[in-house]
Chains A and B, each alone.
Chain A
Amino acid sequence: MSKFQVDKVMREAILDPKVASAFKADTEKFLEGRDLTEAERKALIDVDYATLYRLGAHPFLLNGFTRLVWKGDKAALNAEYRKNIAPFGYPDFST
């Protein structure tokens, strides 16, 4: 588990629109060389927020990050997000 590295990716995208654009344009390339597990890498590529949440991504960052890079219907995202992460309760997000 490399929660710190996942949090770092999310924070970089939140802080800098150019980073967010680079992440969205080619996520696999953006993540090259980063010390992530395969599960974390895949979840970031798929913007699989439920898996990132389950793996212990910081929820405050995950919230902002998901809204920033989400390519689907943003209006529906809030309700779907809550429903999809609910089964995982409150994973430990300490790094």
Chain B
Amino acid sequence: MAELVEIMGISHSPNFPGQIAEPNPEPAIVEAARDYELMRQRMASTKPDVLVVIASDHLNQFFMDNMPTFLVGKAPRAEGPFPHEMRTFGIAPYRANVEVDVAKNMLQLAPKMGVDFSFSDEFRIDHAFTVPLNFIRPEMDLPIVPIFTNVMAPPVPPAQRFFEVGKAIRKIINELPSNKRVGVLSSGHLAIEIGGPKEGRSSSDPEFDRRMMNLVGRGDVENVIEEATWDRMMASGNVTPGFLNFVLLMGLADGKPPSVSGVRFPKSKGSVPYMAWDSQPGVLP
């Protein structure tokens, strides 16, 4: 039986690595970079054998010609991001082996837990995977199992479904026929608008961000599910449904509050959240 050793959620903003690298980053960026370094240490301290990485695809790999809602990648290697993302944002590549046996076992166990995952034997991971992986496991030495979620192309399932899929993944990990230590890393974001009239330099709805991080921090599943509706998220910013990956993590954590969570509000781009659930004393205060 595998052991779930860490559940972690951070931002996948492709702007964030560049903001950190600026000569004089603003204080909130410095603080967020420190948060993410502590998160890296936190994940390393749990000594995972494999990382299940749950993130979205930004219409790069999957598109409306063939759009999976929840998909497990089981090709032997995962690599990304897409060339145009590297050109636009200057972000670093990431390469990892895929733990194919775990991916296949997850696919086989999933229907019993109420989820019918799609799967792929040929895919590329975009910045939603590579940005958090470069923060949390820059060594590129751990195999991963990528799980793609659709948060970009409506209809997107409601928050309740993301929570349930998270609970199912927890049960699947617990039933995996191996003794592996499994860390889960997910990425998403809070309120953000891209290509809409509210797009600006900072969060498109700081109030939404504070409210949701408060609810996540308390493990208040009921209110997160009630409030994180498609319409409410779209009113906060037209790409805000990326928040749903964090709701999935709440399910993975079986509704328990995170060991640590927080959010920084840079003036220069969207807010930078973090959250982690673990069973060991953490390195964060």
Q: In whole Å, how far is A21's beta carbon from the nearest beta carbon of chain B?
A: 13
The total of chain B residues at the interface (CB under 8 A) is 21
Residues of B within 8 A of A58 (CB): 59, 152-153, 195
B13 CB-CB contact with A under 8 Å: no
Q: In whole Å, how far is A54's beta carbon from the nearest beta carbon of chain B?
A: 12
Is the pair A60, B234 in contact by a Cβ cutoff of 8 Å?
no
Interface centre among B58, B60, B155, B195, by most chain A C-beta atoms within 10 angstroms, is B195
Residues of B within 8 A of A17 (CB): 84
Chain A interface, DSSP helix/strand/loop, else mixed: helix
A11 CB-CB contact with B under 8 Å: yes
Is the pair A90, B234 in contact by a Cβ cutoff of 8 Å?
yes
Which of B196-252 touch A at CB < 8 Å?
196-197, 199, 234, 238-239
Which of A54-95 touch B at CB < 8 Å?
58-64, 78, 82, 85-86, 89-90, 93-95
Is the pair A15, B197 in contact by a Cβ cutoff of 8 Å?
no
Residues of A within 8 A of B21 (CB): none
Is the pair B82, A60 in contact by a Cβ cutoff of 8 Å?
no
Q: In whole Å, how far is A79's beta carbon from the nearest beta carbon of chain B?
A: 11
Which of B84-98 touch A at CB < 8 Å?
84, 88
Is the pair B59, A82 in contact by a Cβ cutoff of 8 Å?
no
Counting chain A residues whose Cβ lies within 8 A of the other chain, the interface size class is 20 to 34
Q: In whole Å, how far is A49's beta carbon from the nearest beta carbon of chain B?
A: 9
Residues of A within 8 A of B88 (CB): 64
A44 CB-CB contact with B under 8 Å: no
A93 to B194 CA separation, bound complex (whole angstroms) = 13
Q: In whole Å, how far is A16's beta carbon from the nearest beta carbon of chain B?
A: 8
Going nearest first, the 4 A-B pairs with the smallest beta carbon separation are A63-B195, A59-B195, A86-B197, A94-B154
Q: Which residue numbers of B lie inside 8 Å of A, CB to CB?
A: 58-60, 63-65, 82, 84, 88, 152-155, 194-197, 199, 234, 238-239
